[in-house]
Structure 1
Amino acid sequence: MRGLLKGVAAASAVLALTLTGCSAAGPDGGDDALDEITIGSSDPVPNLTPGRQSNAFGLTMSVFSPLTFLDGEGELSYVAAESVESDDQTTWTITLRDGWTFHDGSPVTAQDYVDSWNTVAYGPNAFENTGQLAAIEGYDEVSPAEGEPTAEELSGLEVVDDLTFTVTLEQADGQFPVQLSQAQTAFYPMPQSAFDDLDAYGKQPVGNGPFALTAAWTEGSPIVAERYEDYAGDEPTVDRITWVPYTDRLTAYTDALAGNVDIAWLPATRMKQVTDDFDEDHVYSFSAPGISYLGIPYWDDRFSDIRVRQAISMAIDRDAVNEAIFGDLNKPATAWTPSIMPGTPEGVCGEYCEYDPEAAAALLEEAGGFDGQLTIHFPGGAGHEDLYNAVANYLRQNLGVDAVARPSVGWAEFGEDRNNQVLDGPFFSRWGALYPSQQSTLRAMFSSTPGCINCGGELDPDIDAALQEADVTGDETGAAYAEVQELIAEEFPVIPMFEESYNYVTSDRIAELTPSGVGEPILTDVVLADD
């Protein structure tokens, strides 16, 4: 199997503790040198239980193995699952591979999956990733939006035998096997021992993946995982991985340059100069299932005319911004999903995603102009200042409006203001999908399914219904979702901005990183340079 690095934030050089370049005893305690890598990461919050994990994805995906896996070409393969099959795309039969064990030696069974999913889904447990299970029949009973649960287990789960269980969904969904892939961590299994003390388990989870933790996690300290010798999947290329916590990405970047860590996330502030700092074969830019938008405050009548929204979009030179701020590592968006997703109708945004300042000004005038200050809102302290200042400059120059970029104090304030609908202008909006299907982004942004609160503008029942119909088709090409985007283009509820890339730098010890289908390097496929 493969593990992935997700969202490595960074900063603080605890790096006398790193193991880069040194020899150590083998996993069995012998004298063989270990092939090991170190990664600049953020501390995992709130703990390492996969159903609760929101930032230590690389670690989680190394300690656990998914049922299915998406590679860098978007091809689906089976890992812990032998098969995932359905005759009606509503009831799915999952057959597990035989011979798999958890790190404590216990066999991985269908009952483990069912018990784990029920634990994650149950509302009072307050697992952060519970929503990934929302499509399973009975979810509203175990995790109601309001009130107390009326059930403790999902009615849509049933164990058939030790290696087989069935999953019944609320409605047909042909994308279900894709949803079971590596980044949807709510679908990972936990052994029976986990349910005795979930808090303790969150410090040192026992997984079914290629690496096992060597000790319990302590906040602020490195986390070490070593190869699990009885792992039944593909053998990893390294023996040990150490995640070293940082508080900012720039320090991790600097330590990668010095050779103190082997893999670090590329900070936005270094995108333009990274090729001056690192040889190009140590800079990796992977297409990602993330996309940014300018969200529209649909509660503000000044933006109710579609021509106002389209004029704002046409007034922004995305190519120039991409070059000046992102070092051409991102890609101007021409659709409402990133092109890495199968079937994305590139260009569906048409002329309204093309830079045309004269047409933009004419369109705004046709709509009656704009009254008052046009404020662009974004979370402060996250490195977005240059981007939104540039956007405000384009709107001032090309539309003749009083445009300003205004940061919040931080993420908490921004999220509260957005969710309470008090923002009075376009705002930071993005969606980073956990599986590369148009479905993931469109559901979060434009449907009644809980996803990104207030990200997609006011809910349009026609778009919502078309998206639900696309789910039923099971079309692997994504053509049904492309038709949904045609409807979105007619309404233009939010402004597509940039398809994201996930960017990394490496030390000289790394010869090659391989991307997965979600834009992350596959940690268990890392190729080390010859010593």
Structure 2
Amino acid sequence: MRGITRTVTMVAGISAAALLAAACGGGDSGSGNNASGGGGGKTGGAVTVRGCNPQNTLIPSNTTETCGGNVLDAITAKLVHYNPENAAPENDIADKIETSDNQNFTVTLKKGYKFHDGTEVKAKNFVDAWNYAAYGPNAQSSGYFMEPIEGFADMQCADEKCTAKPKADKLTGLAVKDDYTFTIKTSEKVSNMPVRLGYSAFSPLPDSFFSDPKAFGEKPIGAGPFKFDSWAKNSEIKLSKFADYSGKFGGKLDAITFKIYQDDGAAYNDVIANQLDVTDSIPSSAMIDDKYKTDLPDRNAQRAVGVIQTITFAPVKTDPNYADPKIRQAISMAIDRATIIKQIFNNTRQPATGWVSPVVDGYKANQCGEWCTYDKAKAKAKLDEAGGFKGGKMTLSYNADADHKPWTEATCNSIKGALGVDCVATPVVDFATFRSQIADKKMKGMFRTGWQMDYPSIENFLAPIYKTGASSNDGDYSNPEFDKLLNEAAAESDAAAANAKYQQAEALLANDMPSIPMWYSTATFGWSDKVTGVKITAFGTIDFSSLALKS
């Protein structure tokens, strides 16, 4: 998964109290161009882009958020590459991925791909990497993505502290046939398995990784078009062109620097002043009346992307005050999404009516039903039906190094106005600390969550977030019927039949409300007058293969 910090940005200049004084307005997802008007550009040169603090060191199977994920996407190559325009999977290191039954897959690699340490990418580099990710004692946050592969269950710890070694340390479903061929056998049929294989968790790892994973995370080695050079914590991450890259997704640049910002407004001002080349986060103050279009004439772009913003409830063991689904439903109905979107985002978001982004095949509108429709009277009645809120004040936590304060405060004001319960927007110093508290199950109350699709599938918005034990299941949600429907959907060879099963599973979320859908996102970028070829991918990221300095 890619838990997000950057895609939802709000206004620093409007008080939260004022936001909900306006009449309710309709939301629009926004559209517009997804690329700069220019093209071409020169070969070579260096650019700077907005970055943020990764939660963990840069190991592909332990990076589940965009701060680190954006860096890994530039330095890694996978079996599959996603087309920046439509997210369609295209073979990268894979020459062929073949199956006759959606359960047994044969992967043939292209020859000549090299890691940044000069060694060749071979079949064992995938098999060894995936075994490492799946092995419970290694505690990899993306290990869950290996679950479909046969033998995964025997590699898991029996308890959270992993006091006893698992039964196995290898996936029985993986086998190296020769240097350029390996096979995958899944426990059940998985019709979209090849589509998943472009996610960073499935990256190959060089042999050197296994001698010192900790050191590797500080200076990662991939097989992508850019290689890692340095990481000055809280300051910048530097990449440079990999001379021996043999793929077809390299682009023109010689170097990329991710400048780490603690404030979206500072990054935006640097773009205006041509001190930063690209920002993927426009502060909400610049969204009002389309101010960013005046600040950055012909230097901005916008498109709907596969991203959703949600609010998640702490696990019941951490905070039992929100355990009753009726309380969760009441809170959701108490949020005036349309007014928040109108006043803060200038209608460049679309109120969410379910848990799946409209950009993916299988999306179905209104899966959340009345629970995602603002209604003060019904919200209060539902809370009364639950016996009221016994936890004193409600809290909604957010990471303070991005522009989330105004919308979380506005959301709390909406909840307080409808339910008569105090609600406080609560900052956490930065994204890395914020995500660590969530991962350690220490975060109480409600907290902002977001999802950037890993691959273009309805399944990706459901299984990694809400399936029992999934890696991004921040609220520890568990519903056996939901899990069963996901398994049945994955086994369907017909796409329409699979989507129908996934839609049935999504509908169950409305009964339990493990999270509150807020809005579907639109990415808005700005750039300096030094660059051209700025494209927003379907994932809401920068397409480095098209970015270049002006001639």
TM-score normalised by length of structure 1: 0.81
Pairwise CA RMSD of aligned residues? 3.5
Q: Alignment identity in percent?
A: 28
Aligned partners of 1:417, 1:226: CA distance in 2, in Å?
A: 35
Alignment partner, residue 69 of structure 1: 81
Match of 2:190 among 153, 161, 173: 173
Matched, 1:354 2:373: yes
Matched, 1:40 2:40: no
Matched, 1:515 2:532: no
8 Å CA contact 2:249, 2:545 repeated in 1: no
Cα deviations across residues 134-155 of structure 1 (Å, max 9, x unaligned)? 3322334444253224433322
Cα deviations across residues 273-309 of structure 1 (Å, max 9, x unaligned)? 5334322542445513333135377577876665544
Alignment partner, residue 86 of structure 1: 99
Aligned partners of 2:366, 2:459: CA distance in 1, in Å?
A: 18
1:388 to partner: Cα distance: 2.7
Matched, 1:295 2:313: yes
Structure 1 pair 369–122 and aligned structure 2 pair: CA distance change class (3 A): closer
Q: Which amino acid aligns with 2:415?
A: L
8 Å CA contact 1:283, 1:503 repeated in 2: yes
Structure with higher RCO (Cα < 8 A, 6+ apart) = 2
Match of 1:325 among 328, 344, 348: 344
Structure 1 pair 319–512 and aligned structure 2 pair: CA distance change class (3 A): farther
Cα deviations across residues 2-34 of structure 1 (Å, max 9, x unaligned)? xx9x8679xxxxxxxxxxxxxxxxxxxxxx972
Cα deviations across residues 162-203 of structure 1 (Å, max 9, x unaligned)? 22101122332222222211xx32211123344444455444
Structure 1 pair 297–280 and aligned structure 2 pair: CA distance change class (3 A): farther
Q: Which runs of 5+ in 1 are unaligned?
A: 10-31
Alignment partner, residue 212 of structure 1: 227
Cα deviations across residues 45-86 of structure 1 (Å, max 9, x unaligned)? 644443344533233222221211233323222111122232
8 Å CA contact 1:70, 1:518 repeated in 2: no
Aligned partners of 1:297, 1:206: CA distance in 2, in Å?
A: 36
Matched, 1:314 2:333: yes
Alignment partner, residue 525 of structure 1: 546
1:346 to partner: Cα distance: 1.5
| Farther off after superposition, 269-278 or 387-396 | 269-278
Alignment partner, residue 509 of structure 2: 488
8 Å CA contact 1:289, 1:433 repeated in 2: yes
8 Å CA contact 1:389, 1:405 repeated in 2: yes
Q: Which amino acid aligns with 2:226?
A: F
Alignment partner, residue 59 of structure 1: 71
1:333 to partner: Cα distance: 0.4
SS at match of 1:352: helix
Aligned partners of 1:500, 1:516: CA distance in 2, in Å?
A: 13
1:367 to partner: Cα distance: 5.9
Q: Which amino acid aligns with 2:239?
A: V
Alignment partner, residue 375 of structure 1: 394
1:397 to partner: Cα distance: 2.8
Matched, 1:393 2:375: no
Aligned partners of 1:243, 1:305: CA distance in 2, in Å?
A: 43
Alignment partner, residue 23 of structure 1: none
Structure 1 pair 192–402 and aligned structure 2 pair: CA distance change class (3 A): closer
Alignment partner, residue 525 of structure 2: 504
Aligned partners of 1:228, 1:8: CA distance in 2, in Å?
A: 31
Q: Which amino acid aligns with 1:460?
A: N
Aligned partners of 1:298, 1:76: CA distance in 2, in Å?
A: 38
Structure 1 pair 474–258 and aligned structure 2 pair: CA distance change class (3 A): farther
Aligned partners of 1:518, 1:165: CA distance in 2, in Å?
A: 29
Alignment partner, residue 486 of structure 2: 467
Alignment partner, residue 97 of structure 1: 110
Aligned partners of 1:194, 1:363: CA distance in 2, in Å?
A: 53
SS at match of 1:256: helix
Aligned partners of 1:101, 1:394: CA distance in 2, in Å?
A: 54
Structure 1 pair 176–413 and aligned structure 2 pair: CA distance change class (3 A): closer
SS at match of 2:462: helix
Match of 1:158 among 167, 175, 182: 175
| Farther off after superposition, 358-367 or 64-73 | 358-367
Match of 1:192 among 187, 190, 207: 207
Structure 1 pair 306–251 and aligned structure 2 pair: CA distance change class (3 A): closer
Match of 2:243 among 228, 241, 260: 228
Structure 1 pair 260–474 and aligned structure 2 pair: CA distance change class (3 A): farther
Structure 1 pair 429–42 and aligned structure 2 pair: CA distance change class (3 A): closer
Q: Which amino acid aligns with 2:73?
A: M
SS at match of 1:402: coil
Q: Which amino acid aligns with 1:51?
A: S
Q: Which amino acid aligns with 1:57?
A: G
Cα deviations across residues 244-297 of structure 1 (Å, max 9, x unaligned)? 344443333222221122112315454525334322542445513333135377
Structure 1 pair 65–415 and aligned structure 2 pair: CA distance change class (3 A): closer
* Aligned residues between the structures: 498
Q: Which runs of 5+ in 2 are unaligned?
A: 8-41
Aligned partners of 1:516, 1:322: CA distance in 2, in Å?
A: 23
| Farther off after superposition, 244-253 or 321-330 | 244-253
Alignment partner, residue 12 of structure 1: none
1:524 to partner: Cα distance: 1.4
Aligned partners of 2:342, 2:179: CA distance in 1, in Å?
A: 55
Match of 2:292 among 268, 274, 282: 274
Matched, 1:447 2:467: yes
SS at match of 2:370: helix
SS at match of 1:376: strand
Cα deviations across residues 82-140 of structure 1 (Å, max 9, x unaligned)? 22232332222212123333344433221222122233334444444333323322334
8 Å CA contact 2:6, 2:281 repeated in 1: no
Cα deviations across residues 301-356 of structure 1 (Å, max 9, x unaligned)? 87666554434323322111012223333321011122122211122223332233
Matched, 1:139 2:152: yes
| Farther off after superposition, 491-500 or 357-366 | 357-366
